[in-house]
Amino acid sequence: MMKRLLAVCSAMAVCLLMATASLASGTIKIGALFAVTGPAAFLGEPEKKTLEMLVKETNSKGGINGMKLEAVIYDTGGDATKAVQLATKLVKDDKVAVIIGPSTTGESMAVIPVVEKEKIPLISCAAGIKITDPVKHWVFKTPANDHVAAEKILNYMSHHKQKSIALLTVTDGFGASGRDQIKTLARQKGFTIVADEVYGPKDTDMTAQLTKIRGIKPDAIICWGTNPGPAVITKNVKQLGIKTPLYMSHGVASKKFIELAGADAAEGVMLPAGKLAIYDVLSKNDPQFKLLKEYDHAYKKSYGSEASTFGGYAYDAFLLTSNAIKRSGSTPEQIRNGIEQASRLVSISGVFNMTAKDHNGLDLSAFEMVRIHKGDWSMIK
């Protein structure tokens, strides 16, 4: 009797073991930390939706190398402390093979020590340059560095012999980082900064700063911020009748900006745009064109709204991950190596060329300079 019981028990145990084993080899867990709520929700929400859409799509096509994907997505609320807790949870409890996110630079910097210690690859969706500079073994990021966008503007300016710059930047992380980058680059390239003004993220009127700038008569104004500030500034510039060329950052490269500022006031504003925002004016021969169109259509079909650059960051991260799994395997170590070896990987933010020295992999070609004309983008050289 006893013996039979033992046999049944052991048989059950074996079954159970096999079940878990098959489960482990049959699914790959992808962890994600996005700021779905809170002040950075405009980043986290499209990122989450994009990842969910892609995982569903991949699984319906039979997964990667026969293995299904499972996304474990947590909302950090944009809070670095919470991001660290959730990262630990993803690693210890959910046992994910890779983490996508967080959405903001602050959170990413906070999570980095966790993933470095636990040896889990992290693909951040935040733009801050310090995430991958200096290079960390386990850390990658998909948005192009701010200084790439800044360089794009300055190159365009020197091409048009504009030498003095008035800066107007927002007092948050994005603006402060942009301000530093432009100042450093401007010094290297021989521009002079004649005004260095700032505004608060919730400010509703910037005519004071612009009046001051108008008095200084710079060759160009560069504004660095995300909506709604730049839209207010664009309206204020129109109101004050300032004719100086106005450059914006890539942070406002969406139709939303033109809608907020009004096509009339936004006429002539120039900015470096990620290619997703402007794919319909892009050359059909551009390597990214087909993918951008597919992503935009798929996103519209799933969620009824236009795909955004921010969702694109999650797309890139997913593509890097799935590409790495296909190439080298599904353990954290293999995924990390696969990401680092990605070369000429055509994605949403650009064409990625990762190396051991460059964990971002994007260059100036990630952006195109555009001018707003009649409420739409037009490419400028």
Partner 1 sequence: MLFDQILQYCLSGLSTGAIYGLIGVGFSIIFNATGIINFAQGEFVMLGGMLTLLFLETLALPLWAAIPCAIAASMVAGLLFERLAIRPLRQPTPINLVIITIGGSILIRGLAMLAWGKDTHALPPFSGNDPISILGATILPQHIWILVVTVFIVAVNRFYFYHTISGKAMRACAYNRRAAGLVGIDVRRMVLFSFVISSALGSIAGLIVAPLTMTSYDVGIMLGLKGFCAAIIGGMSSGIATVIGGLLLGILESLGAGLISSGYKDAIAFIILLLILVIRPQGLFGKAESERV
Q: Is 215 in the site for partner 1 (CB under 8 A)?
A: yes
- The reply on whether position 197 binds partner 1 by CB under 8 A is yes
Pick from 80, 176, 198, 298: which binds partner 1 (CB under 8 A)? 198
Position among 208, 280, 290, 378 found at the interface with partner 1 (CB under 8 A): 208
Q: Considering the rule CB under 8 A, would residue 216 count as an interface residue with partner 1?
A: no
d(CA 70, CA 94): 11
Stretch that binds partner 1, among 49-57, 72-80, 205-213, 358-366 (CB under 8 A): 205-213
> For residue 117, how many other CB atoms are within 10 A of its CB?
11
CA pair distance 246, 166, nearest whole angstrom: 10
What is the spatial distance between Cα 76 and Cα 81, in angstroms, rounded to a whole number? 9
Among 32, 127, 131, 260, binds partner 1 (CB under 8 A): 260
CB of 353 within 8 A of CB of 361? yes
Interaction between residue 211 and partner 1 (CB under 8 A): yes
* Burial profile 279-298: b = 16 or more Cβ within 10 angstroms, e = fewer: beebeeebebbebbeebbeb
Q: Is 17 in the site for partner 1 (CB under 8 A)?
A: no
Q: What mask of x and - would describe binding to partner 1 in positions 149 to 178, judged by CB under 8 A?
A: ----------------------x-------
Q: Which of 216, 214, 226 is closest to 271 using CA atoms?
A: 226
Q: How many chain residues touch partner 1 (CB under 8 A)?
A: 35
**Which C-beta is closer to partner 1: that of 61 or that of 202?**
202
At residue 50, the 3 state secondary structure works out as helix
Q: Are 208 and 234 in contact (CB under 8 A)?
A: no
Question: Smallest distance from the beta carbon of 168 to partner 1, in angstroms?
Answer: 8
- The verdict on 50 binding partner 1 (CB under 8 A) reads no
320-359 positions binding partner 1, by CB under 8 A: none
What distance in Å separates the CA atoms of residue 342 and residue 354, rounded to the nearest whole number?
5
The residue ranges that bind partner 1 (CB under 8 A) are: 41-42, 45, 171, 197-200, 202-205, 207-209, 211-212, 214-215, 227-228, 231-232, 235, 238-241, 256, 259-262, 264-265
